[in-house]
Amino acid sequence: MAKILRLRVFAGPNGSGKSTMYTQVRETLVNGHPVGMGVYVNPDEIARALKEDGALDFGRYGVVANETELSRFARRSGLLDGDEAILWFQTGQQWSTNVFRLRRQVRADQFAQLIAQFLVDKLIVERKKLSFETVFSHSSKLAVMDKARKNGYKVYLYFVATESPLMNVDRVKTRVKQGGHDVPAEKIVERYWRSLKQLVPALDLCYHAFLFDNSGEEPVMFAEMKVGDGGQQWSWDLQQMPYWFIRFYLLAKGDPQLVDVARKAMRLKG
């Protein structure tokens, strides 16, 4: 019996609660069994390893890689924008057997993003179950989901956001005080809007999606979508449905039935 390939994407703006969501899903039992997360790729964890150890062993992800392979991927990824980016990429790394070593700590975050996407791409090619975390602010993540789907994967999306980017800015500040990584406020705000604008194309690529609002003390799941014989099948909690979903999915999609759902949700909000 052929194994079922699954890609799980944990997405949402910085500070929305993606890592917490991942932990909760990983600890969930379905029919008495844990959810199969596969190999987990988190650019924040990669950045932390590069900053603390100055190196990353690809063996921890169950893959074999080298400088030539990473360079080929980087050139076609769209993540190296301009001559300066190409220069820091070419001069900022060195390798030993299956281990990437960082020459300049200042580029840890940029290399982490590139390596994370490289790992996801490689794991899909090698047909391994995997999960990854993303702020969803770049169209390359849609390309990853599409590639996985075309390669026989069932794509699962766990999307979490808040009602305001200012809430995300405050939560990142709190995270920094607790020892977490920082993100400039202007980047958080910019990524917030770009992330929400990805919802329409992203949900068209999913087999199963779960939507959460984390504006309160605890995240609330307000919608679930699963593809069946008749296409997308939705279940909603209209009373819990946030404005960001109404605006960036229900109305942006342009489907009359979804516009009707939006009207019902707005009426409940008064």
pLDDT tens-digit map of 236-252 = 999 999 999 999 999 99
Q: What is the pLDDT of residues 128-149, one digit of tens each?
A: 999 999 999 988 899 999 999 9
d(C-alpha 142, C-alpha 137), whole Å:
10
Domain map of the chain by residue range?
Answer: 1-38+129-270, 40-128
Helix ranges restricted to H, 78-181: 83-91, 108-125, 140-150, 165-177
Q: What is the pLDDT of residues 169-184, one digit of tens each?
A: 999 998 888 877 788 9
Strand bridging mode 99-102 / 55-57: antiparallel
Nearest to 113 by CA among 81, 145, 83: 81
The C-alpha angle 74, 78, 84, rounded to 5 degrees, equals 75
Structure-token match 């580029």, residue found: 107
- Backbone dihedral region of 38: left (phi > 0), alpha (psi from -120 to 50 degrees) or beta? left
Q: What is the pLDDT of residues 18-52, one digit of tens each?
A: 988 999 899 887 888 888 899 999 998 999 999 99
Asked whether 147 and 7 are in contact (CB, 8 A), the reply is no
Q: Which CATH number is associated with domain 1-38+129-270?
A: 3.40.50
State residue 28's pLDDT score: 86
Torsional sign, CA 9, 12, 15, 21 = negative
Kindly list the distances between the CA atom of residue 149 and the CA atoms of 46, 135, 141, 143, 154, in Å, as whole numbers in the listed order.
Answer: 25, 20, 12, 10, 6
Supply 220's token pair: 């609330």
pLDDT over 90 (residue 270): no
